Chains A and B, each alone.
Chain A
Amino acid sequence: MSEHIVSRKIYFAVFGALMLGTLLTVVAARIDFGPFNDIIAMTIAVAKALLVVLFFMHVRYGSRLNMVIVVSGFFWLAVMIAFTLSDYESRDWMPRVHDPNEPASVHR
């Protein structure tokens, strides 16, 4: 199992895709898609990041153990973001109970 040497052709293809993604990001941001502006921008960013990780950073050609480390890192990031946002987003769903011992400034 020797190391894989990625050809220059692949590097230039990835580079072209990253440039195209940047152009698309800028163009899409100037058009009003309503709530989809964020989704479009983040989809392109994730695709660009994936290209960099898989090809420039050689994860596609690396060991499986390495792949597990990479995926687990992004998995815990997703857990952190999902749990925290679900907390913030759901705070107003419950009726607010007035606690006389709690200072008023705690409430938003």
Chain B
Amino acid sequence: MATSDTMHTTHAPHSSAHTALAHHFDNMEQQREAGTLGMWVFLVQEVMFFGGLFLAYLVYRTKYPMAFAAASSHLNWKLGAFNTVVLICSSLTMALAVWAAQIGRERRTQLLFMGLTALLGTVFLVVKAIEYTDKWHDRLFPVRGWFAPAPDAFPHTIAVENIQMFYWIYFAMTGLHALHMIIGIAILLPIMWKAWRGAYSPEYYAPVELFGLYWHFVDIVWIFLFPLLYLLGAHFGGGH
């Protein structure tokens, strides 16, 4: 960076610099790049974290393909597709929230897009709760003593333990994903509070940008979960 030499020699960047500039960074640009890099290191860790579950899914699915197709047919793919659309919309509104802060739109615009993101996230969680309730009533919650699907719910040729394995993976993966959504909304609310107080401007919007990265990552996880969990048995004529 061309300006870094002068920064070091004058040693007085803070008098004129943005109040959000931490003392160990030369300038806002360097601080922003370091923050982005740090967030990506965290997200790569998240990729490995979810990756372990995707791997477990692949191993058991190759072992019990028919059980997974039958169990998948029992999920409500329409609700899954609806939630996919909801999450993609929330990613768009989040990208627009970052954009609004970046180009210095008034705080009302920033808040509108962040509010829509939080609202769509909540819609997703409500739909997820409806699905979980359905599974609970169908006795598909895969805990010993609770897992007892109706005798005609699945083909008799398929071992019920293998159906149960699908539901273990379904609840672990969607549960962990939903937990990420809950944490995401919990983080977004204080960012909205700061946006309301006018904290974000083209010079400083790092919290909005970094939160956006997290939110888009959670969207990506769902982009894979939807076909892998909901659509396996669709072409066998199953589903609702």
- Cβ B37 vs Cβ A45 within 8 A: no
- In the complex, what distance in Å separates the CA atom of A55 from the CA atom of B37? 16
When A and B form their complex, what is the total count of cross-chain residue pairs whose Cβ atoms lie within 8 Å? 128
| Contact across chains for B51 and A2 when beta carbons are under 8 A apart | no
**Residues of chain B lying within 8 A (CB to CB) of residue A81:** 51, 54-55, 58
Which residue of chain B is the closest to A47 with respect to CB atoms? B223
Residue pair B33, A30 in contact (C-beta under 8 Å): no
Of chain A, the residue at the smallest CB distance from B2 is A1
Which residues of chain B are near A12, meaning CB under 8 Å? 92
Instruction: Evaluate contact between A66 and B77: CB separation under 8 angstroms.
Output: no
**Chain A interface residue count, Cβ-Cβ cutoff 8 angstroms:** 49
A32 close to B (CB within 8 Å): yes
B88 and A66 contact, CB distance less than 8 A: no
Q: Are B44 and A15 in contact (CB under 8 A)?
A: no
B32 within 8 A of A: yes
Q: How many whole Å from A103's CB to the nearest CB in chain B?
A: 20
CA distance A76 to B94 in the complex (A): 28
Alpha-carbon separation in the docked complex, A90 to B7 (Å): 60
Binding site for A on B (CB under 8 A): 1, 29, 32-33, 36-37, 40-41, 43-44, 47-48, 51-52, 54-55, 58-59, 62-63, 77, 81, 84-85, 88-89, 91-92, 94-96, 99, 102-103, 209, 212-213, 216-217, 219-220, 223-224, 226-228, 231, 234-236
Q: Beyond A25-B226, A30-B235, A81-B55: 9 further Cβ-contacts under 8 Å?
A: A2-B29, A6-B95, A19-B88, A26-B77, A26-B231, A48-B220, A80-B55, A88-B63, A89-B62
